[in-house]
Structure formats: structure tokens, C-alpha cells
Amino acid sequence: MQTLAIIKPDAVGAGKTGQVLSVLEQKGFKVRAARLVRLSRVEAEAFYEVHRERPFYAPLVAFMTSGPCLTMVLEHPDAVAYLRDVIGATDPAQAAPGTVRRLYAESKERNAIHASDSPENAVREVAFFFPEAELRKLDG
């Protein structure tokens, strides 16, 4: 099973990319694809379309386009739910010890990492960043 993770511009800019990846690998995820991207405003708006009506939408788009981020396809038998556990709560102050956000996030807005929140969204989000046909052959 695959899910999408994004190491966000705060963590990449702080030089924490390798440390975040190290946690993910130690937790048992396999990195099946990775690409460093600087999202355009149009891409960030489309990716976070589901949040368009939320008050944090505009600042979220501004933050996600503020610098490069590392998009990744991660594989694990329970990839979606398990990655949500490993990254921790949206707000790092609420995130459990040892989670990526507790370790590396600055705030609820600048929270180091994104992970797909359902199997359906994982399929959509993986295809959003990695539409390549070869990737589908890696699954299973």
C-alpha cells in the first residue's frame, strides 16, 4: 500500500529533510518515489482544494509555495493510517513524543510534513505528484 508524504518548506528550509526521512525509514516505510518541487500557486491551490473554504487556506497556500518541498511516495502494509500515527497531530504541541511533528514542526501552520488522510486521498495525491505509469507497477 502506498501513501503520499510531503516534507514541507519549513523542514526543508531548516535543513531537516534527511532527519525526517531517517525517522520515516526507521519506522519501516520504503521510499518508492521522491521529487523536490517548488509548488506553484495553482498547484498548491489544487492540492488543498478540499480546504478552500477554511480560514487557513490562503496562508496555507502561501506557506506551501514559499520554498521547495520534498514530495514522496511511501510504501508500507498499512501506509495511510500508520504514517498518520508516525507524523503525529496537526499541532505539534498536541503531537505524541517521537512523532515527526513533535520533533520537527514549528507550529500548526508550519508543521513539517503532510500525509494523506484516507486511502482514497492517498490514491489521488500520489497521482497528483507522480502520474508516471511505472509507479503503479511497483505496487504489489
Q: Which residues are catalytic?
A: 114
> Closest separation between CB of residue 115 and ligand CMP, Å?
6
> Closest separation between CB of residue 83 and ligand CMP, Å?
11
56 binding ligand CMP? (CB under 6 A)? yes
Interatomic CA distance for residues 103 and 110, integer angstroms:
13
Cβ 83 vs Cβ 5: under 8 Å: yes
Nearer to ligand CMP, 16 or 114 (CB): 114
111 binding ligand CMP? (CB under 6 A)? yes
With H, G, I as helix, E, B as strand and everything else as coil, classify residue 113: strand
Applying CB under 6 A, among 32, 102, 108, 124 the residue interacting with ligand CMP is 108
